[in-house]
Structure 1
């Protein structure tokens, strides 16, 4: 065997070995590339799924927020309507016909008077515009005197030092009691759905 033959054999063996290494490297690179592509696909799918979850969550949050805002606006509108209705009722109480105002004032004064002892000195207060009405009504009651004005829609505030008692029988207080007792029913009638 000559030196050239040995060199040629070594060269062929080195080429074969290099070819094996290159083939093995290419195979390994293809495996790594395929694994990386699989990983990338998984990452993309995971990112898509996460993005869809976040979009759904954001959509739900915005929808809930919009529903809450709409509900608050509806409640505010209802409150405004209820305030308008109450203001209209108060206006009607102020503008009652004279005979109705007198009848209601007498009824409220009788109810208040029942709380006092016989012989008490009773002071009666009322709306400034009702001063003449109160003075004429009080003439029918012994020990009662018209004592001045009370800021109200009508009715009476009655008090006595002997009984240490003050009774508020104004249209305002009666309206407040009726309003609070019937607010749900009033609301239901106004906003029937």
Structure 2
């Protein structure tokens, strides 16, 4: 074998090895690219899922907030409506006049008088009702009209001897009735 043949065999071997290395490198590059593309697709899918989940969560939060705000506005409107009804009802009670006012005031004083065993009993009422209360109190022994109290009508009676105070004002009766009937009033106003 000549030196040229040996050199040629070495060159052929080197070429074959280079081609094999190049093929293996190309295959390895193709594998790496395929893995990278697969990983990229997985990452993109994961991010899309995460983004979809975040969008859905944010949508749910905004929807929940909107529902809560709407509910609060409804409740506020109902409170305002009930307050308006109450104000109008109180005004109607304050405007009771004539025989009806005297009859109610007398009933409230009769009820309060049953609470006192001994006198003297002082009676207070609305300033505008002073003459009415004085005329009613004149029918009771040991009772006297002693001045005014801020109320819609009715009386407040008290005795130092028995250390008792009875609040029989239109306000106290109205408050008790309002509390008892609030649910019915609300249902009637806001029938659903």
Tell me if both proteins adopt one fold, taking TM over 0.5 as the criterion.
Answer: yes
Superposed CA offset, 1:148-172 (max 9, x none): 0001010000001111100000011
Aligned position for 1:34: 34
* 1:38 CA drift (Å): 0.8
List, as ranges, runs of 4+ consecutive aligned residues in structure 1 with deviation greater than 6 Å: none
Query: Which runs of 5 or more residues in structure 1 are unaligned?
Result: none
Alpha-carbon separation, structure 2, partners of 1:143 and 1:120: 5
Distance in 2 (alpha carbons) for counterparts of 1:142 and 1:62: 70
Tell me by how many angstroms 1:97 deviates.
Answer: 2.4
The CA distance in 2 between the partners of 1:84 and 1:25, in whole Å, is 86
Gaps in structure 2 of 5+ consecutive residues: none
Instruction: Tell me the residue number matched to 2:160.
Output: 161
1:104 aligns with 2:113: no
Aligned to 2:18: 18
Q: CA deviation at 1:95?
A: 0.9
Root mean square deviation, CA, Å: 0.9
Q: 1-side partners of 2:116 and 2:134: how far apart?
A: 19
For normalisation by structure 1, the TM-score amounts to 0.97
- May I ask how many residue pairs the two structures share in their alignment? 192
Structure 2 SS opposite 1:142: coil
Give the whole-Å Cα distance in 1 for the aligned partners of 2:188 and 2:4.
Answer: 114
TM-score, normalised via structure 2 length? 0.98
